[in-house]
Structure 1
């Protein structure tokens, strides 16, 4: 039996509770959330399931059965510096860690000092720590890296993730600025952007052993060309319906990695497309794209065995045994 502590019980955390509960050989022995409205609630009932007999507490140290736990899954924050103390407190409890923090997915180039602190601390405590998710963590970095394994040589990698944001949960739509005016969008750019594109560029470069001399990123709003109103959305013509971000990695001043992320209400051609230019050159497309909420929860569950097997320290998806779906442990 693998015993899990969940930290962060918002929409993704609740979905993860349901996914973990489905797997034979996995037991949730603790739930952690800072929200006073959640503290004291049964984690099973909180996720729309039957009672687990496990109450949500305010911090990992307060988990009643913490000594029985093996792994903590953390679905709290996107900011690496803000989540650092949560990681260290969890490591103090001797738990291996899987987190959906986007900036944790490959921080060695973007935030090297923080990455080194986390790595050293986890090594000292004898635990492994992995940042993962659908994006970053899989579709725009790990998967294209794996696809290059059939190539004699690679000259350029381009990934496009184009998705209709209407079916996504409200926090995601808020994150990409749906319903804002152009002015409000520009005033709040730092809080609106999709987090993780630069980390994905760096993960691909790490896999390829490409020494990039520059990484750039652009962010532009997608604007509604007509009123869009139904039970889920209420956007006027001229307001923001999403974002388009492009991150580029350059080696010897040549663009070798291009990542295009577009998420907006009304997109009609959702897809995830990877194009490898080399020998051979080829394109792989997932028509309709992968649902981010489902995939993030699923990959968090499916990396548990790989993280338990990993050596201590901060890991990326490139460092662990390739994960796969499993029905029982």
Structure 2
């Protein structure tokens, strides 16, 4: 069997991490890398700042160069956070008969907020016999899938609290902008009032995913957002917050079932939390039979976790039935330490 062939669309913080990870794996080749601006035309290794002996050093190119019929088995799309903004890109990939893994947070459970666009993508994917998945560390794993896995050992569930205290430092400029890193408190409040402050993207997707998986009806859902203001200067690789400005966002959400708060989501995230003595961590607290109180500290680093999920789900997406799928539709994620080709069902390969 030939190596699994991958195109990476978006060579920013996440896309670069995916590329570096795949270049160290067996049985998989990067056959295309897409970006814009001054990266186009440069050798991929130059953009990554690292050499990979015995691996092909392709150039970073354009959509027209690498998104064409059956050019690769799968495209890893690392460009957007929202279904609407990623729709045309995903549609183009599907029409060229390649599978898709997207890092867009809303794509983790796209029907939660974009049911009509999801239906269009699902129909198109089935017509072209390819699969589309959105995933990452959150949503896609820590605050939803991991919770569901833990409920598998319970005979009943009364209430779920999912908490993630994390660092935004590994993420790229797009996330810094979404979180308002470095802006004033006044600008934060203005953006928030105008509905232009994204904060964490994915609570609606995580909560709806869990509700559907558990078989409960979500009666009401709402989110909350407050600025995390730093009293010291902080600087991460892709963002900077001076003392008195916004260093992150404290996000909350709740989902009501049978008139009571069934889902509680708590997610303060900021750049360089360690500078102000904040310990990161992931927490799953379930009031059920038996009870669950799972703690992992420090957090699973968001950047590395997202990169790992995008890489490790590649075989499962290729093996899946056609259409738009989510993490609750596929086998559980796990690391791939051996040859990627051994993970692929021969009849599911596209590129021969």
What is the TM-score when the length of structure 2 is the normalising length? 0.87
| Cα deviation, residue 197, structure 1 | 1.1
Aligned residue number for residue 336 of structure 2: 326
The answer to whether the 8 Å contact 2:95/2:124 transfers is no
Matches within 5 A, 1:20-99: 20-33=22-35, 35-50=36-51, 52-59=56-63, 61-63=64-66, 67-99=70-102
Contact 2:136 2:307 in 1 (8 A): yes
**In structure 1, distance between residues paired with 2:235 and 2:44:** 33
- Change in Cα spacing, 1:84 to 1:145, as seen in structure 2 (3 Å) is same
Cα 1:167/1:90, change in 2 over 3 Å: closer
Equivalence for 2:233: 228
Conserved 8 A contact 1:164-1:267: no
1:113–1:30 Cα change, 3 Å = same
Native 8 Å contact 1:302 1:323 kept in 2: yes
Q: Is 1:284 paired with 2:317? A: no
Cα distance between partner residues in 2 of 1:36 and 1:170: 15
1:62 Cα offset (Å): 2.0
Contact kept in structure 2, 1:185 and 1:192, CA below 8 Å: no
Against the structure 1 CA distance between its residues 2 and 285, is the aligned structure 2 distance closer, same or farther, given a 3 Å change threshold? same
C-alpha spacing 1:269/1:129, structure 2 compared with 1 (3 Å):
same
In structure 2, how many angstroms separate the alpha carbons of the residues matched to 1:25 and 1:277?
44
Q: In the alignment, what sits opposite 2:5?
A: 3
In the alignment, which of 240, 257, 260 is matched to residue 251 of structure 1? Answer: 257
Q: Quote the residue 2:206 is aligned against.
A: 200
Shift of 1:68: 4.5
1:192 deviation in Å? 4.0
**TM-score, length-scaled by structure 1:** 0.93
Aligned twin of 1:210: 216
What are the Cα deviations for residues 2-60 of structure 1, in whole angstroms up to 9, with x where unaligned? 00011111121111110011110010011112x1312112223211233734222221x
* TM-aligned CA deviation for residue 88 of structure 1: 1.1
**1:90-169 to 2 correspondence within 5 Å?**
90-166=93-169
Q: CA deviation at 1:256?
A: 0.5
8 Å Cα contact 2:70/2:98 also seen in 1: no
Superposition deviation, residue 180 in structure 1: 1.8
Per-residue CA deviation, residues 264-318 of structure 1 (Å, 9 max, x unaligned), is 2435121100001110011111111110000101111100111111000000000
Q: Equivalent residue for 2:350? A: none
Residues 226-273 of structure 1 show CA distances to partners (whole Å, capped at 9, x for unaligned) of: 333568776454322211111111112211011111012435121100
In 2 relative to 1, CA 278–14 (structure 1 residues): closer, same or farther, beyond 3 Å? same
Q: Which deviates more from structure 2 when the two are superposed, residues 203-212 or residues 228-237?
A: 228-237
Q: Trace 1:232-243 onto structure 2 (pairs within 5 A).
A: 235-243=241-249
Q: Distance in 1 between matches of 2:169 and 2:10?
A: 24
Mark the CA change 1:106 to 1:289 in structure 2 (over 3 Å): closer, same or farther.
same
Change (3 A) 1:62 1:164: closer
Matched positions, count: 326
Q: Is the 8 A contact 2:44 2:60 kept in 1?
A: yes
Point out the more displaced range, 172-181 or 67-76: 172-181
Using a 3 Å threshold, how does the CA distance of structure 1 residues 116 and 168 change in structure 2: closer, same or farther? closer
Per-residue CA deviation, residues 146-170 of structure 1 (Å, 9 max, x unaligned), is 1100001011111110124456555
In structure 2, the gaps of 5 or more residues are: 341-352
What's the offset of the Cα at 1:172?
3.8
